[in-house]
Each structure stands twice: as structure tokens, then as C-alpha cells.
């Protein structure tokens, strides 16, 4: 048993930390949030140059062939920095979808470009508010042509291709669609967190290439989401810890009634609770990371546990961080809202806390039935 | 990162499991019916075979095993049905304090009898005037030749009525600030001048007591730590206490316990486990338990280096005490209109959740209340300022006291 990252992985963490401190301070997230661009293209190029986009792609597809633990380390640091890049869409999801379900030809065509950061992939899933289920999907593929509209596609306006969930007959499948091809119209949409770009995409008889087995769309998607859940959880737990640090620093230097507000028990106890939530989430993340890296049978349970725990921690810490900052926390100028926005975005864009809790119990029930 | 057993750990687990499977059934032959005597019988079996207090050195009755091995054994022991007993205070709190402060001769004399379960110890810390504010205690110790003479009163002393020995903090000097005038001892609970009176708890049980001291003599050789340094010794005990009581594995008030109940009850003519609100609540507890389990696993490496458990142990007790109370309450709600019944018709668990609910407030108070735990985290882990204190530098006998 060994519950820590290795010294090589910690070295990678230190590198990532200082790289992002230099290239992606919060100011960079704020620039994208306040500006017109969809992401920081320069930062994206440097991230690709560091090889982060190639982390888990096997060497035969021109990747680095490193493990999932290395990716977890990177996810954590990107989450802390709120880096405005399409990393989660392209790496946690599109790359993973190809690795899990891609044919040899599909992998050959795309993985090399993904590794270099030359191609950016995204996932196009939801079509309406409410939970994602076969009945909520209207997009249809017939004779290789996709028609339908997808909402809130993360990085959909800048990505080169999308992994799209659509119906063919009664069942759903995943398809690869070139977003620069014919029959694709995309429009950037206003969101709660403009530091990460989202689009509405309408497909009209766009060329669609089946990914994985026909009719197994939800099953393949479950695998991709489990993978993404662990990495999202690392981003979330780091975001939560960043909020706690901010709150603590502010509370120590802000005085009210003749003493630092950090000396009032109401705030001390609130920060103690924030700390507890962070520790529980971090420990669950480590379990998720281990399950991911070994493709352990426990992965479905471990991923859901990490995801729920980290969503809870980030929510509590982002909300209370504003509270502890008082009026300053409610200003545009202070950075509290950057985390508050990101927490809510991450909390829903691969399924809500309640969705993952239900999934968790379903999976525990499956374990019990198998035992 | 590897959550699986290493080969060595797997071998150890195998060995432990084999011994447990062979020996646990022998408890059927033990005639005693008293739960403490049964627990002592099991403890003795473990001791004789080298499976008691695994992390202690062999010469004190342990096995010299690592922290990881010790928790592997606990996990395996949790799978077999054996009586658990009144050893938490003696083995989990008194022993680590003795290891650090007692003489070699005393360690050889007392520790093996703690490991074997022959001796049961209690903790004489809290007083009517000193609970959360332990250093406000007033029980006096006065030096007299080779002895100390003790007068005063302790309260909430769990198991005092069946204990052989006790650890206690006393005030040896009331004229210096409160934390500086304390001295720590261990003593024989059969000493002349000790009177024990049971206290009835909200559950109706009486597990804790008032303990009165009238001219009780303790030899100076039973002092742990220097005169006036009892506070530091107490901290060793309390840090170990928080580790010892932080647990909360499978049991009634756990995810598994709640899931088992929910699968036997119905909501709108379907198993309660199918109800979305119930599932959400169950998932919440599962995530907390899992988080605690892996937090424990992460701190184990620190423990295996022989470190004193740090303030992070406060998390375990804080989270699990509140969770237990919530689970008990939720499970009673699931029983709806018969939920408050303590009779067999209350469903498959016949009053167990109800009784557990009556016991659960104690967990949030004993061993440092929720509020004290949050203070510890805020101050010692996060480095936030201490609460403003009016008592710290003042001589103890000049500190204002309220209505105590
Ligand atoms: C089941 C049980 C078993 C026990 N067994 C033992 C035993 O074996 N040996 C032993 O020595 N003691 C034992 N205790 C005593 C226990 O340690 C004390 O009850 C506990 O420390 C609280 O002290 P108190 O009861 O005096 O409450 P108080 O200290 O009077 O606390 C009352 C309330 O005030 C809050 N409070 C106090 N100080 C602060 C502060 N600074 N900031 C914020 N809130 C504060 C508390 O959190 C609590 O909510 C046991 C208690 C219980 C319930």
C-alpha cells in the first residue's frame, strides 16, 4: 500500500506549478473572461509544447505514453490556476473517447494531432435542460449524415472536431464530426463562466463517423465520463483549496471591531469545515486516481465518489470565500467570482452532484449484486 | 500510488485471516456472559498468540508490527464476530502516554497486562469546572513525603466502576497560570479514599461516573512527566484519544447500515433504496466514509514512521460523530409513523437505530466537542488566531469562574 504520488510525479507537479505561475496567473483567466477571445491561444501552445496534451497518448501515436497519475497532477494545477484553455474537452474527453472507442484508422488520424495540440476535440452531448437520457436526444444520424442541435458544447466554437451523441434508429451512438466541414454552424453562447468558451452547434446533414459500436453510445460515454470525473475532481479540489487559501489570507489581514476577522469563531469554524471538505475530497481523488491508473474494477465507484466529494468541496469553498470577503468579495475587481463561476460550471458540465450520487449508488448496487 | 496490498502485506493478511478463522469460533466455548469478561477472554487469546496491540514492541506485549499491518489485522478482525471491549482508553490512550513518560520498569509491569486485557484503565480528566476547558480543573495534588495527596472530584469518567487503573491530571500549583500548575499521574482505582457514583445518561444507561477523591495517596513514582508539566503529558493522551476514537467502520450507523435498512423498507410501494432523495443521502455518507478511509490511509505512513498522530485526526472524529447522528435520525424517519417505537414492531432492527440515536449526541461531546475540534483545525492546522482569552497569563486562583 502506498497512498502518495511518486517523487517523479511530485517533480512534475512542481514544474507544472511554476510553469503556470508564470504563464497562467489568475490575470490570464480574467483576460479571457473579460475579453472576446475563446481561450488563451498562446498559453495553449505552450501547454502543448510542454507535452501535457500528449500525456496519456501511447508512443505509437506520437504521445508520451505516461500514466493517468501524471495527468491527474496536471489537472490539479490547471484547476488551481483556472487556466482558460480547452484542456478538459480535448484531453480528458475527446482523447479518451478515441482511446476507448476509436478504430485504428480513427486513432491514426487524430491522436497524433491531439498530442501536438494541433487538433482540439470536444464533446457534444446535451440538447435541452434536464438530465441526459436517450429520450432527451433528438439528433439523428442516417446514412452517415448528422442532423440536430447541441447545447453548451464546451470549447465547441474553437474545436476542430466533436464527439457527438446521436440516435441512429432507436439507439444512441457516439460519432466523430469534423467541425470545419459542411453542414456545421456554431455560435458562441453567453455562460456563467466566460473564461471557458461554450457554443451552440447545429448540424445539417454533417458527415458523421461512427465511434465504437453502433448502439453503445451511452456505454462508451460512461467510460469517458468516469475518466473525466476523476480529472475534473482534481481540478475541483485544487479550486476549493485555492478558495480556502484566499479566504484565510484575507481574513487574517482584514480587521473588524478591533481585531482580525480570522479570530472570530464563526469564521474559524467555517474555514475548518472548508478544510474538512477539502481533505475528504482530496483523499477520494487519490483513490480515483489509483483506480484510473490501474483501470481497477472499482473505477466506476471511485470516479463517482471523487466527483461528488470534489463538487461538494468546491461549492462550499467558492461560496464561503465570497462570504468571508464581505463586500469586497462581491466586486468584479476581486478574484473570488472567478472561482465562484468556475465551480458552478464544473459542477454541471459533466453531470450534477445529484446525477453522480445516483450513479454512485447504482454502481455500489452492481458491486453488491456481483459479490 | 498503490491501494493494493504488497506481497508482504498480502501474506500478512493471509496469516491474520487464518489465525482469526481458526480462533474466533473458540469464543463459543467461553462460559462468561458479561460483555467485558467476554472481551477480556478474546483479548487474552489474541495476546497469547501475539495478535494483541500489534504496533507495540514485543517486550511490552505487542508484536512490533507496522501501522499498516496493524490496520490490516483490524480490518480482518472486523470481518469475524468477536466481542469488542473496554480497552480503548487503556490501550489507545494510557499506553502511549506510559510509553513516552513511564520508567522502563513500569512499562514492563503495566503494558503487557494492558495488552492482554487483564487490566482495564480509565481516564480521569474532566471535572465539573473543567471539560472543554480542561486546564480549569481544580482537583488538588499536594506533595507529602514520597507521596502525593489528592482531593477533589472528577466527572464523566467512562468505565471507572470496572477499571483497575486510571490516568489523571491534577492541580499541583494554583498560584501560577492555569496550564503551568498541572501534574499528571497514574493510579490504582482500588486506592483508599476513592468513591465512584454512576451517572445516568439520556439513553438510560450508566457508562460514566462521578469519582470523588478524599486524601487519596499516590506514590511520586507514579507521576508521569515533571511536576507542573501535566499539560504537555495530557496533550499526548488527547492526541492519541482522537486517533483512537476516530474510527467508524462498518456498523449500524454507517452507509452499509443505512442501506440495509432502506432496502427493507418501502416508499410509495417500492424499496426505499429506489427513492432519489434516499439515494442522494446514502451517497453523501458513502463519500464521507470513503474520504475518511483514504485520509486515514494517507496518515498511516506518518504513523509508521512513529510520529505522534497530528491534529488532522480531529477530522475523523468531527465528521463521523455528526454523521452517526444524522444516519440514526434519517433511519428513524424512514420508519415513518412507527419510527419512535422501541418495541419489536419498529421493524427489522427493533429499536437499534432509536437507541443509537439516543447514544449519538455523546460522540459529538466526548473526547473534545465538535466546536473544540473545529478550533483545533482552525488554529493548529490553518494557523488562524487563537480565541481571545481572559485567563491565560493570570494566576489560576485569580481567574473568574461562572456558575459551574
Ligand atoms: C459519552 C461521554 C464519555 C466521556 N468519557 C470521559 C472519560 O472517560 N474521561 C473524561 O475525563 N471525560 C470524559 N467525558 C467528558 C468530555 O471530555 C467532556 O464532556 C467534554 O470535554 C466537554 O466538556 P463539558 O461537558 O464540560 O462541556 P463544556 O465544556 O461546558 O461545553 C459546553 C458547550 O460549550 C462549547 N464550548 C466550550 N468551550 C468552547 C469554546 N472555547 N469555543 C466554542 N465552544 C465552546 C462546547 O463545544 C459545548 O457545546 C465524556 C463525555 C461524554 C459525553
DSSP string, A243-285: HHHHHHHHHHH-EETTEEGGGSHHHHHHHHHHHHHHHHHHHHH
B283 vs A293: CB contact, 8 Å cut-off? Answer: no
**What is the domain range of residue A201?**
121-215
Give the mutation candidate from A272, A287, A299, A353 for the B interface (greatest B CB count, under 10 A). Answer: A272
> Are A191 and A307 in a shared domain?
no
Residue range(s) occupied by CATH 2.40.110.10 in chain B: 122-234
> Are A135 and A40 in a shared domain?
no
Whether residue B332 has pLDDT greater than 60: yes
Q: Residue B391: which pLDDT band, with cuts at 50, 70 and 90? A: confident
Å between B362 CA and nearest CA of chain A? 20
User: β-strand B223-224 against A198-207: which pairing, if any?
Assistant: unpaired
Nearest Cα to Cα of residue B288 among B316, B246, B325, B329: B316
> Are A224 and A307 in a shared domain?
yes
Is the distance from the beta carbon of residue B60 to the nearest atom of ligand 1 less than 6 Å?
Answer: no
CATH topology of domain B122-234: Butyryl-CoA Dehydrogenase, subunit A; domain 2 (2.40.110)
Averaged pLDDT, B336-361: 87
Q: Which of A116, A148, A169 is the last residue of a domain?
A: A116
In the set B241, B289, B312, B326, the catalytic residue is: B241
A323 secondary structure, DSSP code: H
Q: What's the pLDDT at B400? A: 82
Q: Which residues of chain A have pLDDT under 70?
A: 1
Residue with grid cell 469464543, as numbered in its chain: B27
Is the pTM above the cut of 0.90? yes
Outline where DSSP puts E strands in chain A: 121-124, 140-142, 145-154, 161-168, 171-178, 184-188, 198-207, 209-211, 255-256, 259-260
With respect to residue A1, please indicate whether it lies within any of the assigned structural domains: no
Q: Residue B343: which pLDDT band, with cuts at 50, 70 and 90? A: confident
With respect to residue A227, please indicate whether it lies within any of the assigned structural domains: yes
Residue range(s) occupied by CATH 1.10.540.10 in chain B: 7-119
- The answer to whether A158 and A197 have CB atoms below 8 angstroms apart is yes
Give the mutation candidate from A268, A307, A309 for the B interface (greatest B CB count, under 10 A). Answer: A268
Residue A70 C-alpha cell reads as 501524471
CATH number of B246-381: 1.20.140.10
Q: How far apart are CA B189 and CA B287, in angstroms?
A: 43
> Are A223 and A360 in a shared domain?
yes
Residue B123 C-alpha cell reads as 481516564
- The answer to whether A121 and A95 have CB atoms below 8 angstroms apart is yes
Measuring CA to CA, how many Å separate B36 from each of B21, B85, B86, B159, B362? 22, 6, 7, 11, 21
Total domains present in chain A: 3
Which chain A residue is nearest to residue B376, measuring alpha carbons? A272
pLDDT tens readout for residues B201-233: 998 989 999 999 999 999 999 999 999 999 999
Q: What's the pLDDT at B310? A: 64
With respect to residue A2, please indicate whether it lies within any of the assigned structural domains: no
Measuring CA to CA, how many Å separate B340 from each of B49, B254, B331, B337, B351? 45, 20, 11, 7, 8
> Are A222 and A340 in a shared domain?
yes
Q: Residue B302: which pLDDT band, with cuts at 50, 70 and 90? A: low
Name which CATH class applies to B7-119: mainly alpha
Amino acid at each position: 500500500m502506498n497512498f502518495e504520488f511518486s517523487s517523479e510525479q511530485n517533480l512534475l507537479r512542481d514544474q507544472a506549478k511554476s510553469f503556470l505561475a508564470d504563464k497562467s496567473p489568475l490575470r490570464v483567466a480574467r483576460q479571457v473572461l473579460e475579453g472576446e477571445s475563446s481561450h488563451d491561444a498562446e498559453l495553449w501552445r505552450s501547454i502543448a509544447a510542454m507535452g501535457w496534451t500528449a500525456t496519456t497518448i501511447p508512443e505509437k501515436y506520437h504521445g508520451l505514453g505516461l500514466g493517468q497519475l501524471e495527468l491527474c497532477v496536471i489537472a490539479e494545477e490547471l484547476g488551481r490556476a483556472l487556466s482558460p484553455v480547452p484542456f478538459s474537452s480535448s484531453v480528458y474527453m475527446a482523447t479518451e473517447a478515441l482511446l476507448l472507442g476509436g478504430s485504428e484508422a480513427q486513432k491514426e488520424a487524430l491522436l497524433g494531432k491531439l498530442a501536438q495540440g494541433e487538433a482540439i476535440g470536444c464533446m457534444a452531448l446535451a440538447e435541452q435542460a434536464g438530465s441526459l437520457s436517450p429520450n432527451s436526444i433528438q439528433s439523428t444520424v442516417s446514412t452517415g449524415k448528422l442532423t440536430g442541435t447541441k447545447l453548451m458544447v464546451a470549447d465547441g466554437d474553437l474545436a476542430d472536431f466533436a464527439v457527438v451523441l446521436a440516435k441512429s434508429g432507436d439507439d444512441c451512438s457516439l460519432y466523430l464530426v469534423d467541425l470545419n466541414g459542411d453542414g456545421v454552424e456554431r455560435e458562441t453562447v453567453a455562460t456563467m463562466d466566460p473564461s471557458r468558451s461554450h457554443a451552440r452547434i447545429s448540424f445539417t446533414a454533417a458527415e458523421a463517423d461512427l465511434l465504437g459500436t453502433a448502439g453503445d453510445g451511452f456505454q462508451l460515454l460512461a467510460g469517458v465520463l468516469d475518466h473525466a470525473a476523476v480529472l475534473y475532481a482534481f481540478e475541483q479540489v485544487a479550486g476549493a483549496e485555492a478558495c480556502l487559501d484566499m479566504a484565510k489570507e484575507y481574513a487574517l489581514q482584514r480587521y473588524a471591531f478591533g481585531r482580525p476577522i480570522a479570530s472570530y469563531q464563526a469564521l474559524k469554524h467555517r474555514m475548518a469545515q472548508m478544510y474538512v471538505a477539502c481533505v475528504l475530497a482530496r483523499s477520494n481523488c487519490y483513490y480515483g486516481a489509483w483506480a484510473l491508473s490501474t483501470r481497477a474494477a472499482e473505477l466506476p465507484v471511485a470516479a463517482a465518489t471523487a466527483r461528488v466529494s470534489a463538487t461538494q468541496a468546491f461549492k462550499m469553498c467558492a461560496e464561503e470565500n465570497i462570504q468571508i470577503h464581505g463586500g469586497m468579495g462581491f466586486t468584479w475587481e476581486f478574484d473570488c467570482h472567478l472561482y465562484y463561476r468556475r465551480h458552478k460550471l464544473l459542477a454541471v458540465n459533466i453531470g450534477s452532484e445529484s446525477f453522480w450520487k445516483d450513479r454512485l449508488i447504482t454502481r455500489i448496487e452492481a458491486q453488491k449484486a456481483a459479490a | 500510488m498503490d491501494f493494493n496490498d504488497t506481497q508482504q502485506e498480502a501474506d500478512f493478511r493471509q496469516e491474520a485471516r487464518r489465525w482469526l478463522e481458526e480462533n474466533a469460533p473458540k469464543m463459543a466455548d467461553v462460559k462468561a456472559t458479561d460483555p467485558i469478561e467476554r472481551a477480556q477472554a478474546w483479548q487474552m487469546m489474541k495476546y497469547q498468540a501475539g495478535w494483541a496491540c500489534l504496533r507495540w514492541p514485543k517486550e511490552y506485549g505487542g508484536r512490533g508490527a507496522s501501522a499498516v499491518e496493524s490496520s490490516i489485522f483490524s480490518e480482518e478482525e472486523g470481518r469475524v464476530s468477536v466481542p469488542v471491549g473496554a480497552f480503548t482508553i487503556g490501550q489507545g490512550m494510557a499506553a502511549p502516554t506510559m510509553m513516552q513518560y513511564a520508567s522502563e520498569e513500569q512499562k514492563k509491569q503495566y503494558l503487557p497486562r494492558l495488552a492482554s486485557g487483564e487490566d482495564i484503565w480509565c481516564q480521569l480528566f474532566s471535572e465539573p469546572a473543567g471539560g472543554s476547558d480542561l486546564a480549569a480543573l481544580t482537583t488538588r495534588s499536594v506533595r507529602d513525603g514520597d507521596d502525593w495527596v489528592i482531593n477533589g472530584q472528577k466527572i464523566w469518567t467512562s468505565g471507572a466502576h470496572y477499571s483497575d487503573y486510571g490516568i489523571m491530571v491534577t492541580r499541583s500549583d494554583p498560584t501560577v497560570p492555569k496550564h503551568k500548575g498541572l501534574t499528571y499521574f497514574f493510579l490504582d482505582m482500588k486506592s483508599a479514599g476513592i468513591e465512584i457514583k454512576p451517572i445516568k445518561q439520556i439513553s438510560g444507561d450508566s457508562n460514566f461516573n462521578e469519582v470523588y477523591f478524599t486524601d487519596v495517596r499516590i506514590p511520586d513514582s507514579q507521576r508521569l512527566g515533571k511536576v507542573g508539566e501535566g499539560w504537555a503529558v495530557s496533550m499526548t493522551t488527547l492526541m492519541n484519544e482522537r486517533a483512537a476514537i476516530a474510527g467508524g467502520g462498518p456498523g449500524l450507523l454507517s452507509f452499509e447500515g443505512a442501506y440495509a435498512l432502506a432496502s427493507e423498507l418501502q416508499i410509495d410501494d417500492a424499496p426505499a433504496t429506489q427513492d432519489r432523495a434516499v439515494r442522494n443521502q446514502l451517497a453523501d455518507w458513502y463519500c464521507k466514509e470513503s474520504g475518511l478511509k483514504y485520509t486515514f490511509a494517507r496518515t498511516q505512513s506518518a504513523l509508521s514512521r512513529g510520529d505522534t498522530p497530528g491534529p488532522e485526526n480531529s477530522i475523523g472524529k468531527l465528521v463521523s460523530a455528526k454523521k452517526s447522528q444524522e444516519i440514526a435520525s434519517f433511519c428513524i424517519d424512514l420508519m415513518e409513523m412507527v419510527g419512535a417505537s422501541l418495541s419489536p414492531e419498529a421493524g427489522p432492527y427493533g429499536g437499534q437505530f432509536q437507541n443509537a440515536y439516543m447514544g449519538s449526541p455523546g460522540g459529538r461531546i466526548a473526547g473534545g466537542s465538535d466546536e473544540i475540534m473545529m478550533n483545533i483545525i482552525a488554529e493548529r492546522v490553518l494557523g488562524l488566531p487563537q480565541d481571545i482569552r481572559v485567563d491565560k497569563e493570570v494566576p489560576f486562583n485569580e481567574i473568574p469562574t461562572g456558575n459551574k
